[in-house]
Amino acid sequence: MSETRDTRLPFSLEPVLVGLLFGSIGLFGVIYGIGEWAPELASRHGAGIDAMMTYLMVTTGAMFLIGHLAMALFIWQGSRRTRISHRLASPRFEKRLSIALGVLMAVVAEGGVVAIGLPVWNEYFMAEAPPDAVTVEVVGQQFFWNVRYPGADGEFGATDIQLMDDVVNPIGLDRSDPAAVDDIVWLNEIYVPVNRPVRVVLRSKDMIHSFFLPHLRVKQDVIPGMVPELVFVPTREGTFELACAELCGLGHYRMQGFFHVVSDAEFTSQLERLASEQ
């Protein structure tokens, strides 16, 4: 519909400001969001998670920008009109727009999930630990991570809650079990070799904890009574922080661990050092 000059209201500042407010949310939001936000990647499957993230950032960023600019435009235009320019769209147009939106969201949201998301999800959760994987058990408790390696026999020894003692035997390891003799138990420090699959067996003694390695894009809740396992491949040497990501009590914030990704040689020597200190 055409608009003639005399149907415009005179200029006033408020609509400009309000329009600018919404427009700049879109514009500055996108400018703020561009760039690398996540901690620097250090795992193989994490590349897939980052790809999913990038895809979502780009698609939602575009919609975010378009949406806010449209609002800004409509506010600016609408505030100067003395008559409405469009009243009702035809039912057919309304229906078509909804179908188009439905298809768009199905493609953007479901399509992203199916094409990028689920393959990563499957790689992460369905992975079988290969024979050369390094196995480590992590037992959460308020507010520590107990770390255990099976030692040379590759088997974890039995544990018994009656034997638990927070100072000398936090996981209640039964040293009379032959499999337990060479188990290495340690606190808060995890050593793994770079570029080899790591199998992490998680347990909790008390609360729900969550094993969160931000750089490795790993997060798994540890619900007491359940023994979830993770398999992933660290790809970069370095010391990465381990944080608890499920509220577990007043010391939740200081339940910090360190995940050391080291060379094969360094890994062997570290385990020897830990074994000698048992």
Partner 1 sequence: MSEAHDPGFIRRYIFSTDHKIIGIQYILTGLVMGMVGGLLAVLIRIQLGWPTAQWELLERLMPRGYPSGFMAPEFYISVVTMHGTIMVFFFISYVLVSGFGNYLVPLQVGAKDMAYPLLNMLSYWFALLSAVVMMASFLVEGGAAAAGWTAYPPLSAIASAVPGSGLGQSIWLVSMAIFIASFTMSGLNVVATIFTMRAPGMTMMRLPLTIWSYFIAAILGLLAFPPLTAAAVLLLFDRHLGTSFFLPSGLVVAGQPLSFQGGSPLLWQHLFWFLGHPEVYVLILPALGIVGDVLPAFTRKPVFGYRLNVYSLIAVGVLSMVVWGHHMFVSGMSPFTGEYFTLATMVITIPMTVYGVNLVASLFGGRMRLATPMLFSLAAVALFGSGGFGGLFLGNATADMQLHDTYFVVGHFHFMIGGVTLMGTFAALYFWFPKMFGRSMHEGFGKLHFWGTFAPFFMVFFGQHFLGLQGMPRRYYAFNTYEYLEGTAGQNTMLSVLVMVLVAAQFVFMVNFLWSLFKGQPVEANPWAATTLEWTVASPPPHGNFGDTLPAVHRWAYEYSPDGTGEDFAPQTAGPNDAPITA
Q: In the range 77-136, which residues lie near partner 1 by CB under 8 A?
A: 78-79, 81-89, 91, 94-95, 97-98, 101-102, 104-106, 108-110, 112-113, 116-118, 120-122, 124-126
Instruction: Tell me the closest approach of the beta carbon of residue 99 to partner 1, in angstroms.
Output: 9
Q: According to CB under 8 A, which residues from 46 to 65 bind partner 1? A: 48-49, 52-53, 56, 59-60, 63-64
Nearer to partner 1, 45 or 271 (CB): 45
Q: In this chain, which of 196, 219, 236, 260 binds partner 1, going by CB under 8 A?
A: 219
Q: Are 190 and 257 in contact (CB under 8 A)?
A: yes
Return the number of other C-beta atoms located less than 10 Å from residue 222's C-beta: 23
Instruction: Tell me the closest approach of the beta carbon of residue 196 to partner 1, in angstroms.
Output: 21
Q: In this chain, which of 153, 166, 264, 272 binds partner 1, going by CB under 8 A?
A: 166
Report residue 75 CA to chain centroid gap.
38
Q: In this chain, which of 43, 135, 146, 210 binds partner 1, going by CB under 8 A?
A: 210
Instruction: Tell me the closest approach of the beta carbon of residue 14 to partner 1, in angstroms.
Output: 6
- Closest to 43 (Cα-Cα) out of 207, 264, 198: 198
Q: Are 124 and 45 in contact (CB under 8 A)?
A: yes
Is the preceding omega at residue 156 within 30 degrees of 0, hence cis? no
Nearer to partner 1, 13 or 265 (CB): 13
Site string for partner 1, 171-190 (x = CB under 8 A): -x------------------
Is the preceding omega at residue 144 within 30 degrees of 0, hence cis? no
Q: In this chain, which of 44, 196, 252, 260 binds partner 1, going by CB under 8 A?
A: 252
Rule CB under 8 A: is residue 8 a binding residue for partner 1? Answer: no
- Which residue shows structure tokens 């577990």? 248
Instruction: Tell me the closest approach of the beta carbon of residue 89 to partner 1, in angstroms.
Output: 7
Q: Strands 134-141 and 198-204: what pairing? A: parallel
Instruction: Tell me the closest approach of the beta carbon of residue 56 to partner 1, in angstroms.
Output: 5
Q: Are 223 and 208 in contact (CB under 8 A)?
A: yes
Instruction: Tell me the closest approach of the beta carbon of residue 189 to partner 1, in angstroms.
Output: 15
List alpha helices for 131-263, DSSP H.
Answer: none
- Closest to 140 (Cα-Cα) out of 215, 216, 200, 217: 200
Give the DSSP letter string of 261-273: EE-HHHHHHHHHH
